[in-house]
A and B are shown apart, each in its own frame.
Chain A
Amino acid sequence: MDGGKRLGVRTSMNPASHPYTSEEMMTIAAARKFRNRAICFVGVGPPTAAACVARELHAPNITLVYESGTIGSKPTAVPLSIADPELAETAEFIVSVPEIFAYWLQGGRIDMGFLGTAQVDRFGNLNTTVIGDYQSPKVRLPGAGGAPHIAANAREIVVILRHNPKALVPRLDFLSTPRCEGPITLVTDMGILESEPATGELTLTSHFAGISVGEIREATGWPLVIAADLSETPPPSEQELSVLRCITSKRTQLGKTTLTSANHNRLAAA
């Protein structure tokens, strides 16, 4: 929900040659899922940084699509939102919001959708609406946005989410986005889960270096199925890390060079 802005919530892993955080590993693992030449719909939050890394590295011919209507954007810094100037200025073309949803998404033109969420269940259904009861929620979240139609119309979905039992839950507080009927991949800051074709259940197929299956089980709110061919996720290469850090630091600098809001609001009303 809050983008990729918090760095390393878990301890650094595998510091053999170049230390990195689990957050960085998550973004890089998600970036690797962007297939070159695929048409990818990039959702709000964590997917934005992953999309930038993918385009800079293994997927230069990717087409990035955002719900603000920008198609073929080529961001070189992590945008703050899915309607940032960077995405508009670098787009191949821009369409209206009704058009992006009707013609491009619902029209079946999207290969992969990338989403963040607050909660996911074992079948890949998502909640971004409330924690608690809908009519008197404990925490009111932003809501469904474009996600239901991304999941319903993209051929496959990748969800990016920090791994903890409050996020990977046995039962959603609210069903905002029903699961994609195609393949679903869940990339967390501990490993990778993929939907098992026969049952649709999210199964652990890869764990990050330095994180045990036991730890991942403990952080999952349902009895986690482990794939027979479980592998260790290759750690980030130096190139992946340097690209990620470069595009992330560019955004931080952008935020610091602007005027304060008080000035801006006074100007607006002056």
Chain B
Amino acid sequence: MFQVTTLREAIAEFVHDGDRVALEGFSHLVPFAAGHEIIRQRRRNLTLIRLSADIIYDQMIGMGCARKLIFSWAGNPGFGLLHRFRDAVENRWPRPLELEEHTHAALAVAFAAGAARLPFGILRGDPRNDLFKYTPAFAPMACLFTGEGVTAVRAIRPDVTVIHAQRADKHGNVQLWGIVGIQKEAVLAAERVIVTVEELCEQIEPVTNGMVIPSWVIHAIVQLSGGARPSYVDGYYGRNDESYREWDTVARDREQFLQWMEENVLECVPA
């Protein structure tokens, strides 16, 4: 059921206004190019989902794509705060951003529950922090067998998950390795799945710590070398730390941000 297609067509067909969208990747294999195409196609009212929301979400929020953010951390890795995210939360610019805020462990069990089609995931212990007051996805419950206090976390089911991987074979099986984050759970929790890959090859060879996601859970595969830049792809290219440093400056000012997006994203021709 998968198709090998272009980025433009994949986003046009599978990402719709109002969708719950997870672009996952834990600093490694971040699907930047796909995020940029969503911005270029001017998707609106998205609910963005992500454990470690980083600068691609800062860009999407700043460009007005998102209505809501479901997340557990939002920062520029190594450089601190996300200034577009801050502007949206603190000043409602360019539009108000509703938050559903988790912890990493909570969002991890929520994705795993979604992948297993369970209604909720479970964490040890009672919820004790202030997030519990604001996040309706958490509920205290007692273990049915022992009475032990645990926390239930409502399952996450994205309409569409987008990930970037090292490669896919001609049958559409996708292989990724290195820091694989929560990509498998995010893929299996979703209704529709888009994967961008560094390369398409005849056959995928086994790799240490490699993970295979079979073609039959994927809807679109796009060959896009460099699709995770400026983040990195184990075995292909390193992380561009300077881009993250530069983003800390660019994102501080609305005009400067819009100009940067115009030059670096909107005017670029998609693959």
Residues of A within 8 A of B (CB): 1-3, 5, 44, 67-70, 80-85, 88-89, 93-94, 96-98, 101-102, 105-106, 129, 134-149, 152-153, 174-178, 254-256, 258-262, 264-270
Contact = CB atoms under 8 A, between A and B. Distances in A.
B263 interface: yes
B72 interface: yes
A146 B112 CA distance: 16
Contact of A97 (B51, B79, B101, B240): B51
B212 interface: no
Given A139-B86, A261-B243, A265-B32, 5 more contacts: A140-B90, A144-B101, A149-B123, A176-B129, A176-B131
Interface of B: 26-28, 32-33, 36, 51-52, 71-75, 77-82, 85-86, 89-90, 101-105, 108-109, 111-112, 123-125, 128-131, 134, 178-182, 184-185, 209, 224, 226-230, 232, 234, 238-247, 263-265, 268-271
Given A98-B185, A145-B103, A129 B130 contact: yes
Interface centre among A89, A97, A105, A177 (most CB of B within 10 A): A97
A264 B265 CA distance: 11
Contacts of A80: 77-78, 239, 241, 244
Contacts of A176: 129-131
Interface centre among A82, A84, A139 (most CB of B within 10 A): A84
Contact of B129 (A5, A44, A175, A261): A175
B78 A269 contact: no
A270 B26 CA distance: 24
A148 B129 contact: yes
B180 A94 contact: yes
Contacts of B244: 80
B155 to A, nearest CB: 13
Given A1-B81, A142-B74, A143-B71, A260 B246 contact: yes
B90 A266 contact: no
10 contacts: A1-B80, A5-B78, A67-B104, A80-B77, A94-B179, A142-B81, A145-B52, A267-B226, A269-B265, A269-B270
A237 B205 CA distance: 49
A85 B245 contact: no
B38 to A, nearest CB: 13
A119 B141 CA distance: 30
Nearest to B101: A143
Given A80-B77, A139-B90, A152 B125 contact: yes
A83 B264 contact: no
Given A1-B80, A97-B51, A144 B131 contact: yes
A5 B248 CA distance: 14
B77 A81 contact: yes
B231 to A, nearest CB: 9
B270 to A, nearest CB: 6
A101 B242 contact: no
A3 B33 CA distance: 27
A83 B181 CA distance: 9
Given A94-B209, A260-B243, A265-B229, A85 B238 contact: yes
A261 B230 contact: yes
A142 B244 CA distance: 16
Contacts of A5: 78
A67 B32 CA distance: 21
Nearest to A176: B129
Nearest to A132: B90
A270 B74 contact: no
A177 B189 CA distance: 28
Given A69-B180, A264-B240, A145 B226 contact: no
A76 B188 CA distance: 36
B150 to A, nearest CB: 11
Contact of A102 (B26, B72, B108, B229): B108
A186 to B, nearest CB: 19
Contacts of B269: 269-270
A138 B185 CA distance: 35
A134 B134 contact: yes
A266 B271 CA distance: 11
A142 B103 CA distance: 11
A2 B242 contact: no
B182 A97 contact: yes
Nearest to A251: B241
A97 B26 CA distance: 9
Contact of B264 (A129, A144, A177, A265): A265
A70 B179 contact: yes
Given A101-B105, A148-B103, A149-B103, A268 B33 contact: yes
A57 to B, nearest CB: 24
Given A98-B109, A101-B108, A143 B72 contact: yes
Given A106-B105, A269-B270, A68 B26 contact: yes
